[in-house]
Copies of this chain bind each other. A is one copy, B any other.
Amino acid sequence: MMATMSEFDDAIATTGPDDSGAYVGVLTHEWGIGEAVNGGLLMALSARATGDASQRAGGHADTLSFSGIFLSPSSPGPVRARPTILRTGRSMSTAQVVVTQPVDGVDVERFRALLTLGDLGRYDEAPRKTVAPPTIPPLAECMSAKDAPPSLSQSGLLQRLDLRLDPATIGWAVGAPSGKGELRGWMRLQDDRAPDALSLLLALDAFPPVVFDLGSQGWAPTIEFTGYVRARPAPGWLQVRTHTDHVAGGLFNEDCTVWDSTGALVAQSRQLGAARFPAT
């Protein structure tokens, strides 16, 4: 094993592939949120393993699209990612990955995902159309997650990430959600490891649930998540916007867009989540 250079690289490192084609890593409370481990970290870990398996099969390494369904919350301990390369083409490869954890000696599936892989260098050109980032106040005027109540700020995830939220979108933290269903802010890894295609998968799922801005509280589990990596990000802070269009029957979509420090759109995602709202 090579020595790695950041907390994030350490967290998504795996051994493998073993004879069954599986990659094995270890999840820790360091990236925990509540009792679970952040889903974005698992997506990055499994995308990295799948990219390795794809390259070994003559395919591509960079995740272009990642579509996963979440079957059970992951917890600290060993984790196994088993990629299957479905096709290696000229410009893209396709794969599936199944992620499990042993529970009482039985492999329990946490999630599975379908991936399209390619070479992000191919897409590194001026866009024909794009969307500029929203105006987010300067870092010094944003609220750090470190100012959150201890129940949140002491979670491992919020100690690994440096999140700075636009004050206009955090009324919910003091019981006054805006009702707009939108969050905006800055993000980087706490140790300032530069963003890349893998850490973008983490960034797409690292903000608080957007339904907090509509008065929802507590855990908002992801049911389905699809992320697209559109370009390699430049070094520096990421700019992030999440919003929801439709919240009904306890389900909501959360769309996330990530721009790099130059203002280039680098990643997009949509997820379907489940939310609880206090009785009114």
Contacts and interface: CB of A to CB of B under 8 A. Distances in A.
A131 interface: yes
A220 interface: no
A65 B131 contact: no
Interface string A214-241: 1000000001101010110000000000
A223 B127 contact: no
Nearest to A231: B248
Contacts of A113: 114
Interface stretch (A38-46, A86-94, A144-152, A162-170): A86-94
A130 interface: yes
B245 A268 contact: yes
A10 to B, nearest CB: 29
Nearest to A245: B131
Nearest to A120: B249
Interface stretch (A19-27, A66-74, A134-142, A198-206): A66-74
Given A129-B246, A246-B131, A65 B224 contact: yes
Interface of A: 64-65, 67-69, 71, 86-87, 92, 94, 96, 109, 112-116, 122-131, 179, 181, 214, 223-224, 226, 228, 230-231, 244-253, 257, 265, 268, 270, 272, 277
